[in-house]
């Protein structure tokens, strides 16, 4: 696993071993950043269910202003910190070792981009998305990586489905929160 492009291009990233870990493939990671490439520079990013942190690190490498990494696993949080240090991006990041849903309920932070790659078959996208709507700026984008057999709802509060993309057994659902029009 490596950083694809940007200031940390080519840097190898550590990952956890085991059946609970499912790193995003380079093909899917390239697709994600092709979809949101113009949103990334200067963005405040949330990497929810961070795992190794590779999605948020890719965003930082591509000039995101900051990234908050959230994962309840102490081992995952440690790997994220190790990867940030290795890529010399730790100064742009914060790592929260807490439950992702509780984090969304309590954080005062606001985000421009959220990247979600939760464990499969646990219903975590359906639980996180309504909470996520509260912490997203207007406009903002949310990318959810999930198994092809599962289709999240087309709308979660102010977050509306923009498009779905299929990559083999993986699917990406991209949502956006648009700026509200001013009342005249």
SS3 call for 119: coil
Residue 30's CATH number: 3.40.50.150
Residue 182 lies in a domain: no
Average pLDDT of the chain, as a whole number: 92
Q: Which of 94, 99, 47, 107 has its CA nearest to residue 73?
A: 99
Residue 120 vs residues 23, 32, 152, 173: alpha-carbon distances, Å: 12, 18, 12, 14
Contacts of residue 130, defined as CB under 8 A and 6 or more positions apart, other chains included, come to 156, 157
Its pTM stands at 0.93
SS3 call for 183: coil
Strand 159-167 relative to strand 170-177: parallel, antiparallel, unpaired? Answer: antiparallel
56: enclosing H helix or E strand:
helix 54-61
* Residue range(s) defining the domain that contains residue 59: 26-160
Residue 170 lies in a domain: no
pLDDT in tens, 35-90: 999 999 999 999 999 999 999 999 999 999 999 999 999 999 999 999 999 999 99
Q: Residue 184 pLDDT more than 90?
A: no
Residue 132 lies in a domain: yes
Residue 180 lies in a domain: no
Q: Residue 111 pLDDT more than 80?
A: yes
Residue 93 lies in a domain: yes
Please give the pLDDT value at position 43. 98
Q: Are 86 and 55 in contact (CB under 8 A)?
A: no
Contacts of residue 98, defined as CB under 8 A and 6 or more positions apart, other chains included, come to 70, 72
Residue 167 lies in a domain: no
SS3 call for 146: strand
Number of domains in the chain: 1
């Amino acid at each position: 696993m490596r950083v694809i492009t940007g200031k940390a291009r080519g840097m190898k990233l550590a990952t956890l071993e085991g059946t609970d870990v499912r790193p995003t493939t380079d093909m899917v990671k390239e697709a994600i950043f092709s979809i949101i490439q113009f949103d990334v520079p200067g963005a405040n990013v949330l990497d929810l269910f961070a795992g190794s942190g590779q999605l948020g690190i890719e965003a930082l490498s591509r000039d995101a202003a900051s990234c908050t990494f959230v994962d309840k696993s102490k081992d995952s949080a440690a790997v994220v910190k190790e990867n940030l240090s290795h890529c010399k991006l730790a100064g742009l990041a914060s790592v929260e070792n807490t439950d992702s849903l509780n984090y969304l309920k309590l954080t005062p932070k606001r985000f421009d981009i959220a990247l979600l790659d939760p464990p499969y078959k646990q219903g975590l996208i359906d639980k996180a998305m309504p909470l996520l709507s509260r912490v997203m700026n207007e406009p903002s984008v949310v990318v959810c990586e999930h198994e092809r057999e599962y289709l999240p709802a087309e709308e979660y509060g102010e977050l509306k489905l923009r498009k779905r993309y299929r990559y083999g057994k993986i699917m990406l659902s991209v949502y956006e929160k648009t700026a509200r029009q001013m009342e005249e």
